[in-house]
Amino acid sequence: MQGVADTLREFWAHRPVRPRAGRKLGGVATGIALRYRIDPVIVRIAFVALALSGGVGLPLYLAGWLLLPEEGDEVSPLEALTNKGSSSMSQGQTVLLGILMFPTLAFTFGGNSGFQVFVTLAATIACIYLLQKNRGHLQPATLADPAAPAVPLAPGAPAWDPLGAAPFAWDLPEPAPAPQAQPPAPRQRKPRIGLMTMGVATLVVAASAIAGAWVPWFTVPHTIGLVIAVLSAGLLVGSFTGGGRGLIWLLVPASVVGFGMTAVDFDGSPTRLSNYDETPKSVSELRDRYETSVGSVRLDLRQLPDSGSVKTAIDVDLGEAVVRVPKNADVTFTCEASSIGDLDCLGKRAEGSSVEVSGRDLGENGEGGLEIELDVRSSVGEVRVLRD
């Protein structure tokens, strides 16, 4: 841990500088790419991926904008606001960026489970650590070398004697420049990463269409997912070998189409991307099952009658499931996080990968009263069954 802390301190001491040229917005992605000599496209894709992962990329980018100095500045905009040096960004712009942090943080932490945000931030810090550890010794790259300063001519001096060292020969004609034959530079052929990637993607589509007749898994959304994986791999290889940048114009629409097909049903009903917040007051109002791919399910059963029996199941792929039960109800429960998650079900806790808890809790008055049977499952996220 001491080594990790030293590496992060070194990152802060030699943090990236946001360039004035070649940037798309605030220069955060370009500055990181130049600092560690990697393709800016990779960094930009990483920020987009983090933004799509619950919005974590938005406050991270704003934080980089505030904490990384701009090219030619003494300190970062936030440090300049505390009178630690000068920055080209005005105090009003710095305050505006700071204000924008509040809605982005509210969106990130309000719409997602704390566990998901923690995992994403931990992965981001790990990537920063690995970059600094493996490439921190490299000198930052530049977008273009600065032009060499011109030598001032002496008054009345010809171009061949700029310092005026031989005024006696100024009347002589200008010497003709000696011809310099330069061999043409050999053209370097870039690897045809784009064509190769498109060929592999075409083969994937063809193979999926053939295999779909025998294997039900090869549906259209799964095929699009395979194509996205191939395009992403080609873009990553091309960032190191040169070429393949045009793949991003195929990757972005393919990602949008793939997300739409998996998140929204074709009949227009967003049953796979939704939040449930219900308080049933009778047994008939309670559904047999609550399902969502991305979202949350909050179910309050405390308004149900004191007698009878009810049964329901909750299935969340990515998100949060919270069930509140009456004080005197007899609850039989099974809580599971099939991939990774955090469970807290009537006093039984577990967290990690592929965890499950189950049991029966009779409440404050012992056996008797409303019988509740719960089956609450989440692939990635939090599961809570609370009695209060």
Q: Are 54 and 42 in contact (CB under 8 A)?
A: no
Calculate what percentage of the chain has a pLDDT beyond 90: 17
Tell me if residue 249 falls in helix, strand or coil: helix
Could you tell me whether strands 276-278 and 289-300 are parallel, antiparallel, or unpaired per DSSP bridges?
parallel
Is the CB of residue 145 less than 8 Å from the CB of residue 83?
A: no
Residue 139 — φ and ψ, nearest 5°? -75, 140
pLDDT for residue 51 is more than 70: yes
Per-residue pLDDT, 121: 78
**pLDDT tens-digit series, residues 312-348:** 999 988 888 999 999 989 999 999 988 788 899 998 9
Which of 133-137, 234-238, 269-273, 313-317 has the least mean pLDDT?
A: 269-273
Say how far apart CA 220 and CA 68 lie, in whole Å: 43
One-letter amino acid identity for 360?
R
In the predicted model, is pLDDT for residue 265 greater than 50? Answer: no
* Per-residue pLDDT, 187: 56
371 pLDDT higher than 90: yes
Domain-wise residue ranges, the chain: 2-135, 193-263, 276-387
Q: How much of the chain is in helix, strand and coil states, percent to nearest 5?
A: 40, 20, 40
Tokens 């992605």 appear where? Answer: 29
Task: Tell me how crowded residue 100 is: count the other CB atoms within 10 A of its CB.
Answer: 15
Amino acid present at 251? L
What's the pLDDT score for residue 295?
79
pLDDT (0 to 100) of residue 194 = 79
Q: Which of 325, 318, 350 is nearest to 335 (CA)?
A: 350
Measure Cα distances from 387 to 10, 54, 278, 304 in Å.
48, 29, 16, 14
Q: In angstroms, rounded to a whole number, what is the distance separating the alpha carbons of residues 279 and 299?
A: 6
- pLDDT for 19-49, tens place per residue? 888 777 888 888 888 888 888 888 888 888 7
Flag whether pLDDT at 152 surpasses 70: no
Name the residue with higher pLDDT: 236 or 276. Answer: 276
What's the average model confidence in pLDDT over 137-156? 55
CA-closest candidate to residue 271, choices 293, 286, 256, 297: 293
Phi, psi of 333, rounded to the nearest 5 degrees:
-135, 155
The sign one gets for the Cα dihedral 303, 305, 306, 309 is negative
Burial (Cβ within 10 Å: 0-12, 13-18, ≥19) of residue 180: exposed
Q: Which residues does 74 contact at the CB level (< 8 Å), separation at least 6?
A: 80, 85, 86, 87
Residue 277's H or E segment, with its range, is strand 276-278
User: Rounded to two decimals, what is the model's pTM?
Assistant: 0.41
Predicted local confidence at residue 218, as pLDDT: 76
The alpha carbon dihedral of 33, 259, 59, 339 has a sign of negative
pLDDT of residue 261: 61
Write b or e for each residue in 6-16: b if 16 or more Cβ atoms lie within 10 A of its Cβ, otherwise e.
ebeeebeeebb
**Measured between alpha carbons, how far is 166 from 280 in angstroms, rounded to an integer?**
101
Instruction: Write out the H or E segment, with its range, that includes residue 333.
Output: strand 330-345
What are the tens digits of pLDDT across the range 86-137? 888 888 888 888 888 877 777 776 655 556 677 777 778 888 888 888 888 8
DSSP category for residue 290: E
Rounded Cα gap, residues 52 and 60, in angstroms: 13
Query: Per residue in 37-54, is it b (16+ CB within 10 Å) or e — as a string?
Result: ebbbbebbbbbbebbebb
> Which pLDDT value is given to residue 11?
81
Are 234 and 244 contacting, i.e. CB atoms less than 8 angstroms apart?
Answer: yes
User: In this predicted model, what pLDDT tens digit does every residue of 198-219 receive, in sequence order?
Assistant: 888 888 888 888 887 777 777 7
Collapse the DSSP code of 24 into the 3-class scheme (helix H, G, I; strand E, B; otherwise coil) and give the result: coil
Instruction: Tell me the pLDDT of the chain averaged across its residues.
Output: 78
Based on DSSP, count helices (H) and strands (E) in the chain, helices before strands. Answer: 10, 6
pLDDT > 80? residue 159: no
Structure confidence by residue, pLDDT tens digits, 346-361: 989 998 888 899 999 9
Which residue, among 130, 134, 65, has the nearest Cα to 96 in the 3D structure?
65
Phi and psi torsions of 291, nearest 5°: -130, 145
**pLDDT, position 9:** 80
Length of the chain: 388
